[in-house]
């Protein structure tokens, strides 16, 4: 299993970024895929999740209304579209799976088995 994130960068507040998570070793229909983020000195935080079945989506409090998780038509990439970015969105963003097909109601990082290396997002004020 491998997950590789990309798309991070430096953006001004109010701007947008789209992160990508390319995965291998499993198919989209096998497992739900989640995005987490971790800012310096803070705990890892669940940002968004997409079910493997039915493509239902779930968002953390900080992401609701601004971020959108989706997959491409071929179901080989999961995206995190981030709009109206704020300086507090600055963090290292990871995609991860926990072996379940449906998203957890509460994303607990310790319960996730496979992680990508992360992509850095920096939002300037």
Each residue's pLDDT, cut to its tens digit, for the chain (125 residues) gives 999 999 999 999 999 999 999 999 999 999 999 999 999 999 999 999 999 998 799 999 999 999 999 999 899 999 999 999 999 999 999 999 999 999 998 899 999 999 999 999 999 99
User: Which residues are CB-contacts of 78 (< 8 A; sequence separation ≥ 6)?
Assistant: 20, 21, 23, 28, 33, 35, 50, 69, 70, 71, 95
Three-state secondary-structure class, residue 95: strand
Three-state secondary-structure class, residue 117: coil
CA angle 102, 85, 42 (to 5 degrees): 65
């Amino acid at each position: 299993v491998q997950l590789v994130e990309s798309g991070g960068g430096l953006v001004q507040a109010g701007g947008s970024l789209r992160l990508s998570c390319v995965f291998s070793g499993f198919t989209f229909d096998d497992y739900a895929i989640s995005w987490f983020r971790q800012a310096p000195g803070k705990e890892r935080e669940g940002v968004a999740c997409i079910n493997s079945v039915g493509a239902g989506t779930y968002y953390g409090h900080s992401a609701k209304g601004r971020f959108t998780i989706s997959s491409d038509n071929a179901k080989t990439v999961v995206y995190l579209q981030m709009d109206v970015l704020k300086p507090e969105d600055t963090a290292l963003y990871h995609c991860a799976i926990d072996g379940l097909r449906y998203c957890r109601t509460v994303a607990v990082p310790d319960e996730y088995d496979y992680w990508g290396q992360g992509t850095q997002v920096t939002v300037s004020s």
